[in-house]
């Protein structure tokens, strides 16, 4: 059962909590930006009417197969998640960019400086990599997280990185501004609870076979830990089509916006698996109402240790940012880009030398 409180004094909260506990519920007090709630877990047949009639209770709902805390009706204006200097879900469009994997110092520092100079609002990079093949590059682990933090600080960007194990959350927390839950772990309850307790923003990716209802319920796990800083990320679903890595489900954007108050971003890199499709699908996602775009960028995609085929070259990222701005403005959003550009988009050799990408690997 979820109970929304209208009175927040300690005596009223304790009275309602005691009543829920007497019914056999495990009670949590959740103070979220859109209200104070008591979550009573473990009640098989909760007496909603009895709790509803208590002083200080605005409403009570039996928890079932539909999300409550993540539902749109709880915050019709929509939630905003602060990340660095930006609020994701606000008027400004988020542009998250970086390599699939943190490979070495040169690579991540080069990419971070470039994407920061050309309009990125956050730096992404994987240190723990879930791979289909056990023989593929699995990431640098904690040293990669620390390199990502250094690169983000040098470029002035908040950083996002994937966590795969609940036991890694505490070690990663000092080094990341936002945890990413990858598609393979969307339904990993212990991991969702662990990042919820960490109190940092969470970028939650949709599983390749997950319905939108299942996706939002996964977010509910995080909110039930008292953390409302959840960003939903559409990254494509598995269909019969083989021309692209996944089928990017842009229907999800307006449907999710009607279902939940949480901001929605789109990853066209994983959604298509094709470099030539990333920019068109990113533009389409912004037109459909996405609150941000997440793209993979690499100084030399042909030598990337993971996902090179879907990673943008450095100049392609700048062109993408320039193309997104008028689309954003057309749908009432904005994308803040630097007015003075340090490099011309076609100066690839100069860019690589100036940013220190010496190609030593």
CATH superfamily, with its number, for domain 81-354: Aldolase class I (3.20.20.70)
Angle at the Cα of 295 from the Cα atoms of 292 and 297, rounded to 5 degrees: 145
pTM to 2 decimals?
A: 0.92
Tokens 């990408």 -> residue: 357
Residues 306, 291: Cα–Cα separation, whole Å: 26
Angle at the Cα of 342 from the Cα atoms of 337 and 348, rounded to 5 degrees: 110
Residue whose C-alpha is closest to residue 144's, from 112, 97, 113, 101: 101
Residue-level pLDDT at 351: 53
The answer, yes or no, to whether residue 129 has pLDDT greater than 90, is no
Please give the C-alpha separations between residue 253 and each of 77, 194, 257, in angstroms, as whole numbers: 16, 27, 6
Residue 327 three-state SS = helix
Residue-level pLDDT at 359: 45
pLDDT band at 345 (very low <50, low <70, confident <90, very high): very low
Please give the C-alpha separations between residue 8 and each of 16, 37, 58, 62, in angstroms, as whole numbers: 11, 10, 11, 21
pLDDT band at 43 (very low <50, low <70, confident <90, very high): confident
The answer, yes or no, to whether residue 343 has pLDDT greater than 60, is no
Residues 167, 9: Cα–Cα separation, whole Å: 36
Residue-level pLDDT at 354: 46
Q: Are strands 292-296 and 86-88 parallel, antiparallel or unpaired?
A: unpaired
pLDDT band at 360 (very low <50, low <70, confident <90, very high): very low
How many other β-carbons are positioned within 10 Å of the β-carbon of residue 261?
22
Domain residue spans of the chain: 2-64, 81-354
Residues 78, 283: Cα–Cα separation, whole Å: 22
The answer, yes or no, to whether residue 235 has pLDDT greater than 90, is yes
Q: What percent of the chain has pLDDT over 70?
A: 94
């Amino acid at each position: 059962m979820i109970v929304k409180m209208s009175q927040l004094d300690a005596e009223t909260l304790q009275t309602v909590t005691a009543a829920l506990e007497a019914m056999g519920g495990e009670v949590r007090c959740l103070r979220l930006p859109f209200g104070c709630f008591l979550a009573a877990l473990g009640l098989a047949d909760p007496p909603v009417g009895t709790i509803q009639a208590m002083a200080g209770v605005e409403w009570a709902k039996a928890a079932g197969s539909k999300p409550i805390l993540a539902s749109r009706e709880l915050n019709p204006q929509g939630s905003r998640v602060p990340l660095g200097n930006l609020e994701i879900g606000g008027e400004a469009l988020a542009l998250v960019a970086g390599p699939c994997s943190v490979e070495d110092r040169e690579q991540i520092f080069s990419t971070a400086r470039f994407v920061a100079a050309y309009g990125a609002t956050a730096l992404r990079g994987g240190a723990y990599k879930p791979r289909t093949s056990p023989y593929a590059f699995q990431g640098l682990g904690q040293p990669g997280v620390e390199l990502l933090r250094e690169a983000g600080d040098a470029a002035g960007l908040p950083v996002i990185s994937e966590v795969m194990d609940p036991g890694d959350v505490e070690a990663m927390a000092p080094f990341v501004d936002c945890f990413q839950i990858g598609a393979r772990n969307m339904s990993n309850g212990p991991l969702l609870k662990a990042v919820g307790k960490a109190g940092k923003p969470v970028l939650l990716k949709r599983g390749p076979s997950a319905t939108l209802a299942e996706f939002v319920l996964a977010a509910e796990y995080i909110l039930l830990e008292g953390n409302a800083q959840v960003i939903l990320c559409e990254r494509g679903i598995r269909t019969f089509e083989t021309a692209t890595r996944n089928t990017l489900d842009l229907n999800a954007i307006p449907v999710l916006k009607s279902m939940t108050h949480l901001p929605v971003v789109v990853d066209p890199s994983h959604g298509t698996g094709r470099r030539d499709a990333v920019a068109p699908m990113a533009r389409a996602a912004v037109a459909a109402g996405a609150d941000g775009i997440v793209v993979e960028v690499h100084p030399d995609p042909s030598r990337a240790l993971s996902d090179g085929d879907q990673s943008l070259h450095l100049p392609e990222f700048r062109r993408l940012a320039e193309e997104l701005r008028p689309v954003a403005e057309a749908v009432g959003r904005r994308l803040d880009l630097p007015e003075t550009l340090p490099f011309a988009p076609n100066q690839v050799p100069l860019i690589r030398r100036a940013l220190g990408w010496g190609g030593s690997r």
